[in-house]
Structures are given as structure tokens and as C-alpha cells.
DNA sequence: ATCTTCTATGTGTATTTTACATATAGGTGA
DNA sequence: TCACCTATATGTAAAATACACATAGAAGAT
């Protein structure tokens, strides 16, 4: 799933949750259960717990994250995940993919507005849809290497 | 994949291409090969031809689209697809899903900007990233029913 | 004539991803 | 003790995707 070389899939539908995980871990170390909650707050309404834990072990095997047991605090032991250098590199790559994804959504809604005008003629006189339209943030991912 | 009831998956990573297909067909009837090209223009760099044709047959079985053979024009016969009423209903539903998807991306890039500032201190003085930020288009899908 | 290339629609199947069910175990409060 | 929350994990079915290949009409080149 995480490809060794930079042939990251261009299809945005693949592994959508992955960049969010890496982004969250880039700020602070978290364990799986916390991640699950933060992802829900992000808008992921149905992350499968089992698959999330499996994914984290896979990411660790691919060395995008590292983990250690956290026995402090209450409750059962937690496996605390941190992002690695390789993980940060991948985060940047995934962010680029998500940008193209976002521009596809912009195009979708631009065309979708026209569709609504066709089907609901009164629609164009309403101001509830403000087109975010064309992508401005572009061609700069903050590379410094 | 296309669920009969309105328990459409909330996970935006599923069937990302589907709403784009329905949107394209909402404007004009197209055959598979044309769809494939329009989707590439949309940004889908790697749609699998075989799976696209299979998906279209599946959509027809689910009655979101209908098809008829088009023997006019040159070349081999084309199967011309049109959207159905049910297809339009689903398009609206998928558009709502894509909106939540878009707001997730907004949140991602908002947080990602902070990440870049941490890792590339000079970044904040540059103006190449203009935050599109918070979602404005919301809570109105043009329902008139 | 046949060869290549482009258009156009498909099938077969392996791999990957996702969904759903279930197991284990520590801790808290009724 | 029982229910509930936290926390991690496995087993497996179902769905989606990737990759290979088949068929066939038409156009233009050699």
C-alpha cells in the first residue's frame, strides 16, 4: 500500500485516511485509540478500528511510523506511535496528491452548479452556494531540499 | 457498491469516480470510451478501462444509467449511456458526500500549513500558499422536493 | 495486401482494501 | 457482579482495484 519508490498512486480514492494519520502524528505522538477519535473529529465517520490498528502496524513495518508501549496513565497499555523521517517525506508526497484531489472537487462543484441551475431554475437567484472555484494554492509544497 | 437504500457510505475514499461519471452523464449522453477521456481530463490519470466498462454495466443493472447501441458514425458500435431519474437522485447524494470530503481537505491543508511552518521556518514569509480555508458552500444542495 | 494505430467494448483473475464479526483485557462506577 | 469505557488485535468475507488479455471495425502507411 505504501509503495517503496515514489510511484504513489495518482488515484485519490486510495488510502485517503493515510495522509491524515501522518499529519496528526507530525504534531504529537498518539496511540491508536486517540488517532481513531481524532480522525472521527476530522470527518471520518466510520473508520474500522480493527483495520486502523492493522494499518498502523503496516506503517510501522514500512518505517513511516515507530511505536513504543506506554504503560503510564490508567487503563490498558497503549502503543504510542510517532512519525519517522520517512513518514514526513511521505506526508509531503501525499499532500501533493490531496491537492490534485482538491482541484478535482473544485471542478466537480463548478460543473455541479450548472447542473443544479438546469434542474432547479430558481437556484441561480439564491446565494447559498458560493463557488470556491479555481484552485489558487498550487505548485508549491514548501520543499526545501 | 451502489446501495439500494440511502445508506450511502460516508467514507469518501469509496467510489470516488462514481459521482463524476453521473455528473458527466447529467449533461449529455456519452459512451464508455468518451467517458474515459473526459474522466482523464478531470484528473483521473489512471482509470482502468476494463473496470470502467464493468462499472457502467453495474450502474445500468442498478438503474442509475441506461444504455443503447449507437451504430451511427464511424468505427465500432458504441454503447451510449444516459443518466436515469434514480441516477440524478444519487448524484445529489454523492455531491453531499463530496462536500464533506472537501471540508476534510480544507481542514487537512489548514493543519498542513502549520506543519510546513514548523519544518520550513522561511515558509510563513512566502505567499505561495493562499489558504482557501473554511468551507463556505454548505448546507444547501438545491433540494426542491 | 498486411501492418500498425486508434477507436471501442469487453472478460479473467490476482491482489489489495474495506467491512463485519469477534476476542482479550484493564479500569471505573452502579 | 454487571455494565461500560478504554485499548489492541485477529479472522475472514466482500468489494474494489490492478494487470493482462481478447475481439473487432476503420484509417492510413508501406
Q: What is the pLDDT of residues B14-34, one digit of tens each?
A: 579 999 999 999 999 999 999
What is the pLDDT, as a whole number, of residue B118? 83
Tell the CATH topology of A17-94.
Arc Repressor Mutant, subunit A (1.10.10)
Question: Between residues A11 and A83, which one has the greater pLDDT?
Answer: A83
Distance from CA of A127 to the nearest CA of B (A): 9
Cβ–Cβ contact A125 with B under 8 A: no
CB A53 within 8 A of CB A75: no
pLDDT at A13: 54
Q: What percent of chain B has pLDDT over 70?
A: 73
**Contact (Cβ atoms closer than 8 angstroms) between residue B111 and residue B35:** no
* CA of B120 vs chain A CAs: smallest distance (Å): 7
* B38 membership: H or E segment, kind and range: helix B32-42
Range B93-111 average pLDDT: 94
Helix ranges (DSSP H) in chain B = 17-27, 32-42, 49-61, 85-119
pLDDT at A76: 86
Query: Tell me, which fold does domain B17-125 have in CATH?
Result: Arc Repressor Mutant, subunit A (1.10.10)
- Average pLDDT, whole number, for chain A? 80
The mean per-residue pLDDT over the stretch A104-127 comes to 82
Instruction: Give the pLDDT score at A134.
Output: 37
Does the distance separating the beta carbons of A129 and B140 come in below 8 Å? Answer: yes
Q: Is the pLDDT of residue B106 over 90?
A: yes
Q: Which residue of B has its CA nearest to A111?
A: B23
Q: Does the distance separating the beta carbons of A128 and B140 come in below 8 Å?
A: yes
Q: Do B142 and A119 touch (CB under 8 A)?
A: yes
Task: Check if the beta carbon of residue A13 is closer than 8 Å to that of residue B14.
Answer: yes
Amino acid at each position: 500500500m505504501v509503495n517503496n519508490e515514489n510511484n504513489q498512486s495518482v488515484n485519490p480514492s486510495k488510502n485517503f485516511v493515510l495522509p491524515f494519520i501522518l499529519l496528526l502524528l507530525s504534531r504529537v505522538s498518539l496511540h491508536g485509540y486517540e488517532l481513531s477519535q481524532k480522525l472521527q473529529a476530522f470527518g471520518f465517520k466510520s473508520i474500522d478500528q480493527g483495520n486502523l490498528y492493522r494499518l498502523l502496524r503496516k506503517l510501522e513495518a514500512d518505517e513511516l511510523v515507530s511505536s513504543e508501549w506506554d504503560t503510564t496513565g490508567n487503563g490498558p497499555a497503549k502503543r504510542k506511535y510517532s512519525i519517522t523521517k520517512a513518514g514526513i517525506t511521505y506526508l509531503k508526497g501525499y499532500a501533493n496528491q490531496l491537492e490534485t484531489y482538491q482541484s478535482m472537487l473544485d471542478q466537480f462543484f463548478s460543473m455541479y452548479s450548472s447542473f443544479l441551475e438546469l434542474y432547479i431554475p430558481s437556484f441561480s437567484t439564491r446565494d447559498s452556494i458560493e463557488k470556491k472555484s479555481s484552485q489558487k494554492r498550487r505548485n508549491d509544497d514548501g520543499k526545501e531540499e
